[in-house]
Amino acid sequence: MKKKISLRSIAEELNLSKTTVSWILSGQGLSKGFNIDTIKRVNDYASAVNYRPNQLARSLSLGKSHSIGLIVPYISDTFYAQMIEYIEQEISKKNYFLTICCSQGNAKKELELIHVLHSKQVDGIIIAPTDSSGAVVSTLESFDLPFVLIDRFFKERKTNYVVLNNQLAATKLVNQLVANHASKIALVVSDTYLTAIRDRMEGYTSGLKQAGLPVEEKLVISVNRATYREEMPAQLATFLQQQPDVDAILFATHYLAFAAIKYFIQEKIPYTSNYQLACFHQTEALDVLAPGMLVAQMPLENMCTEAVHILMDAITNETAEGKQVVFEPTILSL
């Protein structure tokens, strides 16, 4: 059986103390006063025998795990898949590792995941919260664990967060639709308990008022996030039958736009000529499926980079005061 390589076996082989080897391999050789030759001898030997430290033991020794937890509601959603990629790229530059968790849009599971990540001694958490009560913030604060909210936040809690100015983005989309001669604009939403979605609804209302158009509840279609694929066909069919003069549709999220376009295609409805379309978040598929659609571009890479920087600052400097970053929207025509 192959002998297990450990701090003890390295120390015995090099005739050094276990503590000396531990300090050198954790990068504290110079600060502890060891000479360059000893540091090199230990590092070279550890490399030659392919030594890999026990990360849990190392984190207990150093007080840091060099790992970050990321909790997103849906991994299959292209928006959050891109978020994961950008955050992983950024933290790897800091020599940190990422533990990815999916809450599946379930607030109870989200809290359980926070407890799990805390037990694994992550140094901090980035989270796009599903919870609407603020319990997620209270739990993180009770653990005294650095965290950053991304994409979703709680206005009443002065925590670290990085978000888009959703209200302004929705207003701008409505303004552009009106400038393109739309006069009856529908809104399709889900997850209306989320601050981001409520802000988009307020922005829609504000844009209508600015244009002197009536704000009508009958022009808002609300679907359940968990069942939106099944709901969308019947909801849209009924709505468009009742409101045949609608000439524009604003989707509060990209996945709602996809579901509607799927319905239009199946029913052979010429949606690109019948309606002006607008939504949040640009994707390659929408470029193909809906040329001319207006999109509130989410500066996701910049949002993720900012979230990582804020979290690292909170971890390194133990900053207590929350930092709030709100990105301004850019409106594109696909």
Listed residue (170, 206, 179, 180) closest to 279, CA to CA: 170
pLDDT of 69 reads: 95
User: Do both 19 and 100 map to the same domain?
Assistant: no
Q: Give the domain range for residue 72.
A: 66-163+300-327
58 belongs to a structural domain? no
User: Do both 151 and 171 map to the same domain?
Assistant: no
1 belongs to a structural domain? no
User: Do both 170 and 283 map to the same domain?
Assistant: yes
User: Do both 289 and 172 map to the same domain?
Assistant: yes
pLDDT of 1 reads: 44
pLDDT of 84 reads: 96
pLDDT of 5 reads: 76
User: Do both 146 and 219 map to the same domain?
Assistant: no
User: Do both 186 and 264 map to the same domain?
Assistant: yes
User: Do both 143 and 29 map to the same domain?
Assistant: no
Which residues of the chain carry a pLDDT beneath 70?
1-3, 52-64, 318-321
264 belongs to a structural domain? yes
103 belongs to a structural domain? yes
Backbone angles phi, psi at 205, to 5 degrees: -60, -45
pLDDT of 10 reads: 83
Reported pTM: 0.80
13-26 pLDDT per residue, tens: 888 888 887 778 77
190 belongs to a structural domain? yes
User: Do both 134 and 205 map to the same domain?
Assistant: no
CATH number at residue 158: 3.40.50.2300
User: Do both 142 and 255 map to the same domain?
Assistant: no
Backbone angles phi, psi at 124, to 5 degrees: -175, 170
Number of domains in the chain: 3
Distances (CA, A) of 168 to 1, 175, 232, 326: 65, 10, 26, 11
pLDDT of 85 reads: 96
pLDDT of 63 reads: 53
Listed residue (200, 125, 123) closest to 159, CA to CA: 125
pLDDT of 72 reads: 96
pLDDT of 60 reads: 45
107 belongs to a structural domain? yes
